[in-house]
Amino acid sequence: MLGATNLMRSHTQTSHIRLKRTFVVVTVAREKFITPGPKKDTKKQKKIKFDPTDELWKSDINLNEDITKALGGVALLEKERKSGDPFKQRAYENAIYIITSYPARIISGAEAKKLQGIGSSIANKIDEILKTGTCESLKEKQEDAELFETFSQVFGVGPVAAKRFVDKGYKSISDLANDPDLTDMQRLGIKYVDDFKLMIPKVEAQGLIHYVQDVLKELSPAYIGIACDGHRRELSETNSLYMAITHPNYTSSPSTDPGRLLLDLTDALTDLGFLTDHISSGILKYWVRWESIEGSTI
């Protein structure tokens, strides 16, 4: 009787092994890795360890590309932040590695959390991605990037100032206009932000240049004003006009005031109503240079 009992137990064990092998072959991958057995209230559920050498982990297709792409954006955002946490960044990168190789579609954050290396924070992000298609932090980053681009288009606003305005929470050019710390150049840039975007047709540009040349001749017949840049290259339209202005009596000497020559012209154009605003004024070391243009390729 004892022998029969042992034989029956041995047969049962053999059958169990054979059934288990069959289960591994035909089951959906998620069921193998995720589906828990009978819950035991006294023991914490064991995490499933990622083993990249396991054949069942290998997949030619990323079935969770939307999740890994969004998590990749969050990881990059964490990396770019000055106060970013390198451990968080590494955790996101590890989660992306695991989920990319996972051979089944993840349908919830709770399911992903059962994989070793994915905690509650990332699981919550996955739930958000599955529900909305993105993460709130990524949406905020995209909005900040668009605002940065908008503010950078204002004349006088460089990358540092644009980022500072974004960090202050400004959402529009109108918000920017109320900033108490704007420079005079930035205020003019805001005032004419739409005008600066307009292109000047070639015919109109020629008329403006001829007007300035006529004013120069009234100041002194010896003045020479030549169009440069886009108009010089015969472009059909341009967004700005550049002119090289010189005078044959100018010589490079300590007694010469090159700024006065330019200011004579700008004062005359302002009095005539041709110039409405000065974006910058004053003579800087490299801002105004008077040189002979004889033989120049300007």
Q: Which residues are catalytic?
A: 125
Centroid of chain to Cα 163: 11
Long-range interactions of 217-220: CB distance < 8 A, separation 24+: 218/268, 219/264, 219/265, 219/268, 220/247
- 261 and 216 in contact (C-beta within 8 Å)? no
Terminal alpha carbon distance of the chain: 112
DSSP 63-116: TTHHHHHHHHHHHHHHHHSTT--HHHHHHHHHHHHHHHH-SS----HHHHHTBT
Distance CA 174, CA 21 (A): 68
Widest pairwise Cα distance in the chain? 131
- β-bridge pairing 237-238 and 242-246: unpaired
- Nearest CA-CA partner of 33 in 16, 20, 18, 50: 50
